[in-house]
Structure 1
Amino acid sequence: EYYKAVDDKVFFHPFLQKNVVFAQHDLVTDQSFNEFDIIICRNVFIYFNKDLQNHVHTLLYNSLSPSGFLGLGKREGIKFTSYEHCYGEFDASEKLYRKVK
């Protein structure tokens, strides 16, 4: 209903494409540049030290709209971060969190 698969490619239907922006963003050096309803950042934090993890959590928190969603990788989470109290668990098995503060 939302896309069409042709051989090894996937094409989104035009009604979705007009609302999607793909952009390159450096989590280490760039600042927040928009307010997003959902951010999927899977399997990135496992490669960062604690200081860089906190820096990126700040960036993601500041980039999410109120009640926005954050998706993390299977071995990642928000426990033991300075932003743990800012999210509610939405789907534990999928590591989806919702911004509450």
Structure 2
Amino acid sequence: MNTFEELLARWRDAEASGDGAAALLAADFRGDGPDGLVLDRDHWPGRAPAAAFRWTHLRVTASVGVATGRRDGAGCTVVAAVREGRWLIVNVQRGS
């Protein structure tokens, strides 16, 4: 993946199909969910309901990207970074 936007699209599709999302997450990934739930990379994929993301704000530099928006009526923020030449998701935060 060459861009943050490509990573977001692949992650959305992988989450919706329940297949391959872990490969898009950094080894030190942290998923923060409602009520203080915290999951690592091995426990995150497939946890989120499959629904369309509606991004309301994207901010991208050469090495970090942040997307905020809504998913299933809840706020969602995705943070990614370039690691060893490829974009990987390092954090997802979902509101209740």
Q: Say which one has the larger Rg.
A: 1
Structure with bigger RCO (C-alpha 8 Å, 6+ apart): 2
TM-score (norm 2): 0.26
